[in-house]
Amino acid sequence: MSGWRRIVLPGADVALWSPWLGAVEADALFVELRRAIAWENHRIRLFGREVASPRLSCWIGDPGATYTYSRSRFEPQPWPAALAALRPRVEQACGARFNSVLANLYRDGGDAMGWHSDDEPELGARPVIASLSLGAERRFRLRRRRARGESAQPGDTSELLLPHGSLLRMAGDTQRLCRHELPRMRNLAEARINLTFRCIHTAAH
């Protein structure tokens, strides 16, 4: 039976399954992926300047699943065995097909990601994105996009915790109508791995 819990936010189609992986399997996967993935410090553009991303990342996917974000183009690395085995299970849980995954390593609470949407053209108009969390529990925020000059309204923002082994599904118009962030957490020394499964539409390149 499905364990999805819907997150209420105007314009969003978001649900959390926690825990999706059992603790023993999630522990082993965290250790294996931290070792097996070729982590890099990607360069991104922020307020017109190129800076080091506040996390380590690796773009992984099928041949041709090239991804461009923050004006940088990434060719996919091959799937590690543990991720290749996990992919069909994530697809079944989310009812979607994925040909790529952005792996992120947040080394401690000082690593973070600011407000953004995963709305690049190659993801399509209404992408399904599955986000698996391993390691340290982190806060995650979703916020409705506001028109220029529009003031904040009650219920515009939703905050939740993403525990070890949890699976977050974002679909529908979520990326078009909402933004999300992973804020810093002071005094957190433990690391977190986040796997965001996506489907790249090569015709959009």
Which class for 119: exposed (0-12), middle (13-18), buried (19 or more C-beta within 10 A)? middle
Output the 3-class SS for 52-80: ECCCEEEEEECCCCCEEECCEEECCECCC
Residue 15 in contact with residue 167, Cβ under 8 Å? Answer: no
| CATH class as words, domain 4-144+157-204 | mainly beta
Q: What is the mean pLDDT of each run of 10 residues along the chain (205 residues)?
A: 85 94 98 96 65 86 86 88 97 97 96 90 93 98 81 80 98 92 94 97 62
Whole-number Å distance between alpha carbons of 73 and 76: 10
Task: Write down the pTM of the prediction.
Answer: 0.90
Q: What is the pLDDT of residues 163-173, one digit of tens each?
A: 999 999 999 99
Segments making up each domain of the chain, as ranges:
4-144+157-204
Please state the separation of Cα 156 from the chain's center in Å.
21
- Of 15, 2, 25, which is closest to residue 134 (Cα–Cα)? 25
For residue 147, the model assigns a pLDDT of 72
Tokens representing residue 137 in the block: 């529990």
Tell me the per-residue pLDDT of 170-189, one tens digit each, with 9 for 90 and over.
Answer: 999 999 989 999 999 999 99
Cα–Cα nearest to 130, from 169, 72, 179, 92: 169
pLDDT of residue 69: 72
d(Cα 192, Cα 88) in Å, to the nearest integer? 22
